Amino acid sequence: MNALVLANFPLALLVLAAIVGIPLWMTFKRPVAAPDYAEARAYLGAKAGLRAVPALATVRRHSDRAPQPTRVAA
């Protein structure tokens, strides 16, 4: 094999090591202690609050509407 072909193997190994190693390094550098569910709790609390108010619970859905006429291609 040519010397240039043989020189590509170590370069390929360096590139593969960088592709695998950099994301691993970023992950281990700042590990997440616990997920933050604050937004989910706020959403579920607001959703439960809407069920408690009868006037807001009767919001019409898209399926309740009459079908709209559509344009037909010429």
Tell me: the pLDDT tens digits for 40-61?
A: 888 888 887 776 655 544 555 5
pTM of full prediction above 0.85 = no
Give CA–CA dist 14/51, Å, rounded: 58
pLDDT at position 55 is: 55
For the record, the structure tokens of 49 come out as 């609050």
Give CA–CA dist 59/8, Å, rounded: 65
Residues 5-43: tens digit of each pLDDT = 899 999 999 999 999 999 999 988 887 777 788 888 888
For the record, the structure tokens of 19 come out as 């592709």
pLDDT at position 63 is: 59
